């Protein structure tokens, strides 16, 4: 069956390109911005160990399933799920899974590009020496002035959206492939340069100790569930991005070997980011558990004080922009692919249309940090950034976990076993049986626990 299906959008030229593209989708603000601070908040090494275990038993099986579905269907997530449900003799309502992914990608892009815009602005600030002489108050005031200015946020939000649309509009080979072939090696090069600086801070051993020496006395049950949640979200699961990238994967490429490589590279970026950030944090007497402000408030203080801070601060925020950019192109690709397939649009038109919609919707997030902010309670926590928090909760707490769970259920319970064997191409040996067990039982159960925990429905 699959030999008769050909992607309308082109194919990756090689396995390496798919690895770069999928890694680029997975590597984003979560690796550079979120992973270091949640590691800091949850005690370091023990959290990292649990996170790696969750990647292995939850993230990788679902990612393999999502790529498997994409390559089997060779269409946008919506059309792929409709076709595969028909092939399996199941309900066409499985196409709703594709819709959830496409809509989630658009919603995430609308606020993701606002946050990425902060990093674009900080590249210029760092290069201009704006961080020199920063202390806690001035760094916080600088960040606060930026996020509370709707005009400034809308401008940088637009710049980042345009950068994303320019790549997607050029197609799979000329756009996505060329972008990841440049951006991903550049990202690793920047990480290596920054790590070279971190080694010479005199606190590199302290950073390694914090990251890799497990202290289980500091690991709480909540920390374990945080590790599970981040392992799921860091691989871009449940939003259709990996599914549509899988639809461009050559038939002869091994899904299992490729996804293991992607997971390793994604995890390597997160760990390298920690190895860059924590030595700088310790060298400047900052707190590793300073939360979301670690990158945009704490680190600028360090860059302003340290030798070579102008250069390395600029390089760091360029790194953040590159990581966000490679993820953003995967967020809107499923929607663009659907418009090309179902509405007969030219790719350029579809990319501009989706990009413009995301930018307009993103203005809701822009205003959430100023005049449209409001507070509300969710799952025992107070949220203060209005619709930004609403969109974040809607996507990360509901849409993506439900999408990931549905992917696992469809691959494990709805598809014919012979079809999954055919796509994975590893036979029915021990490796396949391990994946099949994880995707049928362990992964859906774990994601269900994650959803219940997010809603504070688990007993305490």
Q: pLDDT tens digits, residue range 411-429? A: 999 999 999 999 998 889 9
* CA distances in angstroms from 310 to 43, 70, 129, 287, listed in the order given: 30, 44, 6, 21
Q: How confident is the model at residue 460 (pLDDT cuts 50, 70, 90)?
A: low
pLDDT at res. 58:
92
Average pLDDT over residues 24-51: 87
Asked if the model's pLDDT at residue 121 lies above 60, the reply is yes
Among the residue ranges 113-127, 302-316, 429-443, the one predicted with the least confidence is 302-316
Q: What is the mean pLDDT of the chain?
A: 92
Q: Under a CB-based contact definition with an 8 Å cutoff, are residues 66 and 237 in contact?
A: yes
Please state, as a whole number, how many other Cβ atoms lie within 10 Å of the Cβ of residue 456. 11
Residue 375 confidence (pLDDT) = 86
Q: How confident is the model at residue 381 (pLDDT cuts 50, 70, 90)?
A: low
Is residue 365 scored above 50 in pLDDT? yes
What's this model's pTM, rounded to 2 decimal places? 0.93
Please determine, for residue 24, whether its predicted confidence score (pLDDT) is greater than 50: yes
Could you tell me the pLDDT band of residue 120, with boundaries at 50, 70 and 90?
Answer: very high
At residue 376, the 3 state secondary structure works out as: strand
Cβ contacts of 194-200, under 8 Å, gap ≥ 24: 194/276, 194/312, 194/315, 194/316, 194/319, 195/272, 195/275, 195/276, 197/276, 197/280, 197/308, 197/312, 198/275, 198/276, 198/277, 198/279, 198/280, 199/279
Q: Counting Cβ atoms within 10 Å, is residue 346 exposed (0-12), middle (13-18) or buried (19+)?
A: exposed
The mean pLDDT value for 259-270 works out to 94
Higher-pLDDT residue of 265, 136: 265
- CATH for the 2-454 domain, from 3.40.50, 1.20.1740, 1.10.40, 1.10.3430: 1.20.1740
Residue 333 has pLDDT above 90, yes or no: yes
Instruction: Give 381's strand partners.
Output: 378
452 or 79, higher pLDDT = 79
CA distance 322 to 248: 22
pLDDT of residue 222: 83
Distances (CA, A) of 453 to 30, 97, 114, 131, 222: 20, 22, 28, 39, 9
Res 291 pLDDT > 80:
no
What gap in Å lies between CA 47 and CA 239, rounded to an integer? Answer: 25
Token pair listed for 199: 């080694």
pLDDT band at 96 (very low <50, low <70, confident <90, very high): very high
Instruction: Work out the percent of the chain whose per-residue pLDDT is above 90.
Output: 71
Helical spans, DSSP H, in 128-177: 136-147, 150-168, 171
382 in helix, strand or coil?
A: strand
Instruction: Please report which residue ranges of 169-298 form alpha helices under DSSP H.
Output: 171, 178-199, 204-212, 221-234, 241-246, 255-283, 293
DSSP 183-215: HHHHHHHHHHHHHHHHHTTS-HHHHHHHHHS--
Q: Which residues of 362-382 are buried (b: 16+ CB within 10 A; e: fewer)?
A: bbbbbbbbeebbeeeeeeeee
User: What average pLDDT does the segment 276-290 reach?
Assistant: 85
pLDDT of 133 higher than 50: yes
- Check residue 2 and give its pLDDT: 46
Question: Where along the chain do its domains lie?
Answer: 2-454
249, two tokens: 């994967």
CA 26 vs CA 96, 144, 392, 450: distances in Å: 23, 29, 17, 19
DSSP structural state of residue 4: G
List phi, psi (to 5°) of 378. -140, 125
Radius of gyration of the chain (CA): 21
Give per-residue pLDDT as tens, 31-43: 887 888 788 888 8
Q: Which two tokens stand for residue 402?
A: 């439900």
Give 322 or 290, the one with higher predicted confidence.
322
Would you state the pLDDT for residue 43?
82
**pLDDT number for residue 292:** 67
Query: pLDDT at residue 281 above 90?
Result: no
Q: Is the pLDDT of residue 308 over 80?
A: yes
Residue 1 has pLDDT above 50, yes or no: no
């Amino acid at each position: 069956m699959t030999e008769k299906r050909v992607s309308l959008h082109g194919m990756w030229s090689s396995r390496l390109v798919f690895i770069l593209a999928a890694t680029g989708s997975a590597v984003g603000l979560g690796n550079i911005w979120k992973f270091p601070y949640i590691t800091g908040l949850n005690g370091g090494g023990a959290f990292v160990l649990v996170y790696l275990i969750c990647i292995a038993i939850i993230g990788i099986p679902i990612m393999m399933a999502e790529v498997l579905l994409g390559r089997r269907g060779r269409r946008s997530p919506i059309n792929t799920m409709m076709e595969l449900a028909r092939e399996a003799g199941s309900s066409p309502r499985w196409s709703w899974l594709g819709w959830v992914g496409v809509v989630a990608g658009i919603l995430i892009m609308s606020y993701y590009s606002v946050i990425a815009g902060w990093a674009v602005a900080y590249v210029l600030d760092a290069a201009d020496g704006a961080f020199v002489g920063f202390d806690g108050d001035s760094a916080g005031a600088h960040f606060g002035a930026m996020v509370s200015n709707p005009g400034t946020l809308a401008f940088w939000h637009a710049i980042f959206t345009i950068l994303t649309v320019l790549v997607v509009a050029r197609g799979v080979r000329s756009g996505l492939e060329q972008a990841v072939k440049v951006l991903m090696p550049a990202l690793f090069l920047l990480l290596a340069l920054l790590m070279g600086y971190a080694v010479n801070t005199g606190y590199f051993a302290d950073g390694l100790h914090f990251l890799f020496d497990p202290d289980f006395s500091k690991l709480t049950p909540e920390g374990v569930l945080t590790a599970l949640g981040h392992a799921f979200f860091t691989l871009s699961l449940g939003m259709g991005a990996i599914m549509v990238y899988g639809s461009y994967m050559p038939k002869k490429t091994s899904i299992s070997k490729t996804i293991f490589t992607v997971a390793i590279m994604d995890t390597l970026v997160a760990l390298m980011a920690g190895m860059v950030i924590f030595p700088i944090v310790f060298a400047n007497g900052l707190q590793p558990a300073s939360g979301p402000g670690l990158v945009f408030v704490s680190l600028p203080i360090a860059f302003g004080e340290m030798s070579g801070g102008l250069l390395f601060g600029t390089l760091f925020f360029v790194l953040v922009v590159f990581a966000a950019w490679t993820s953003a192109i995967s967020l809107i690709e499923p929607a663009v692919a659907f418009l090309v397939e179902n509405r007969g649009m030219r790719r350029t038109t579809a990319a501009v249309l989706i990009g413009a919609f995301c930018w307009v919707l993103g203005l809701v997030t822009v205003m959430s940090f100023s005049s449209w902010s409001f507070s509300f309670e969710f799952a025992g926590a107070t949220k203060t950034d209005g619709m930004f928090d609403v969109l974040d909760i809607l996507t990360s707490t509901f849409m993506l976990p439900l999408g990931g769970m549905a992917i696992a259920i469809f691959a494990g319970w709805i598809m014919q076993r012979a079809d999954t064997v055919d796509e994975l191409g590893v036979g029915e040996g021990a490796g396949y049986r391990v994946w099949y067990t994880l995707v049928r039982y362990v992964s859906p159960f774990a994601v269900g626990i994650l959803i219940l925990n997010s809603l504070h429905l688990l007993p305490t």
